[in-house]
Amino acid sequence: MTSKTNSGNFFEDFELGAELVHPIPRTVTEGDQALYIALTGDRSPLSCSRPLARELGYAREPVHDLLVFHMVFGKTVGDVSLNAVANLGYADGRFLAPVYPGDTLRSSSTVIGRKQNSSGKTGVVWVRTRGENQRGEAVLEYTRWVMVNKRSPQSPEGERLIPELPSRVAPEDLVLPDFVKTADFPAWTTGGRAFFDDYEVGELIDHVDGMTIEESEHALATRLYQNTAKVHFDAVKTKDTRFGRRLMYGGHVISVAKALSFNGLENALGVLAINGGTHAAPCFAGDTVYARSELIEKAELPGRSDVGALRLRLLAVKDVDPASEPFEARVERDGKQRYAPSVLLDLDLWVWMPKRPSA
């Protein structure tokens, strides 16, 4: 008799070019938005304030970009990463249209790469995921890769392909809706003193604050996104892993780091793209997360004179405050440059920010 339960895909089950249509469409509500703020401490004013959103041209306050990302991501877990060892990274992610409370999100993915690891016990799978609203309009596209357990170490590797991915989303491919206007941007709403013009390439911004991640916060956040990956929830099965305990969902680390980055980037009103990202180390309950941003590029947006794009390298570290003690993201270990043990996340993203209003 065919099993009625879903045990998830193992490495052997992924075929290049396969289309995965993920179940459980999700209507995003105002309650989701409020809970996201409660769990991450995010202060992004555009997703908090309906009057501000309307002043900028939106129909109402849009759903936070990263909440959209997590909702779309969460749909994919049952087909892509239910049997994951770890989510490894992201590339070529673009936010394509605003999502409002009341919109319904669904996801689909295409398998674009796969390779077996040298141990023969796991493999890496690359997927390209598309999130759509109830009208079939794309709101988000991104690539991610994940290490997945094999069903049997003795099974053959199968077809192997490592996809070539762009190092960044080109500025001309960034999408900011034409209706967004910042001529009358009320700067007091953010409390920020710096605008696009005030940031310089190479500048380091230590975001000062730290946040200790609690077990309950992580569990609630991950359930909010309907992410069912076993490594986040099952204490019985994870006690025999090399870590011996549950892992925090890496997306929660992303959201906490982004929330911390508000201090110093208050006028960054939204995320346009995720160029790349690496989960450099696992995060566990009790770890205290600090964040630092490095400005690596500034760009004009086509047809816009009122806003620009900042490309940031957002670094999240645990139990080390980069603002108060010497810190290097990479150190030499075993004759190679590797991430320092305290580095949790290295995320490359584009954000948009108004230019300084003329006097």
240 assigned to some structural domain: no
Do residues 201 and 334 share a domain? yes
Do residues 351 and 206 share a domain? yes
Is pLDDT at 241 greater than 90 in this prediction? Answer: no
Among 134, 151, 168, residue at a domain's last position: 151
Do residues 115 and 209 share a domain? no
Letter for the amino acid at 343?
A: V
Do residues 43 and 122 share a domain? yes
51 assigned to some structural domain: yes
Q: What is the pLDDT of residues 147-188, one digit of tens each?
A: 999 999 999 999 999 999 999 999 999 999 999 999 888 989
How far is Cα 192 from Cα 45, in angstroms, rounded to an integer? 11
Q: Is 179 exposed, middle or buried (0-12, 13-18, 19+ CB in 10 A)?
A: exposed
| Cα→Cα distances 78→24, 196, 226, 280, Å | 10, 40, 10, 23
**C-beta neighbour count of 46 within 10 angstroms:** 20
Range of the domain at 75: 9-151
157 assigned to some structural domain: no
Among 131, 151, 171, residue at a domain's last position: 151
103 assigned to some structural domain: yes
Mean pLDDT of 69-94: 93
Do residues 206 and 317 share a domain? yes
Mean pLDDT of 232-247: 85
Among 151, 179, 202, residue at a domain's last position: 151
Do residues 123 and 199 share a domain? no
**C-beta neighbour count of 356 within 10 angstroms:** 13
Do residues 36 and 132 share a domain? yes
Q: What is the pLDDT of residues 258-284, one digit of tens each?
A: 999 999 999 999 999 999 999 999 999
- The CATH number for 90's domain is 3.10.129.10
Do residues 199 and 133 share a domain? no
How far is Cα 294 from Cα 313, in angstroms, rounded to an integer? 5
DSSP 348: E
Length of the chain as a residue count: 359
Do residues 198 and 339 share a domain? yes
The answer to whether 289 touches 281, Cβ cutoff 8 Å, is no
Do residues 89 and 200 share a domain? no
259 assigned to some structural domain: yes
Q: What is the pLDDT of residues 295-308, one digit of tens each?
A: 999 999 999 999 99
**What own/partner pairs with CB < 8 Å and gap ≥ 24 does 180-183 have?**
180/56, 180/57, 180/58, 180/307, 181/56, 181/57, 181/306, 182/56, 182/306, 182/307, 182/354, 182/355, 183/306, 183/357
Token pair of 19 as six digits: 């289309």
Number of domains in the chain: 2
Q: What is the pLDDT of residues 88-134, one digit of tens each?
A: 899 999 999 999 999 999 999 999 999 999 999 999 999 999 999 99
The pLDDT of residue 151? 93
Do residues 142 and 197 share a domain? no
Enter the pTM of the model: 0.94
Q: What is the pLDDT of residues 25-45, one digit of tens each?
A: 999 999 999 999 999 999 999
The pLDDT of residue 86? 83
201 assigned to some structural domain: yes
235 assigned to some structural domain: no
Is pLDDT at 63 greater than 90 in this prediction? Answer: yes
More confident residue, 53 or 330: 53
280 assigned to some structural domain: yes
Give helix 65-80 / helix 30-40 axis angle, nearest 10°: 90
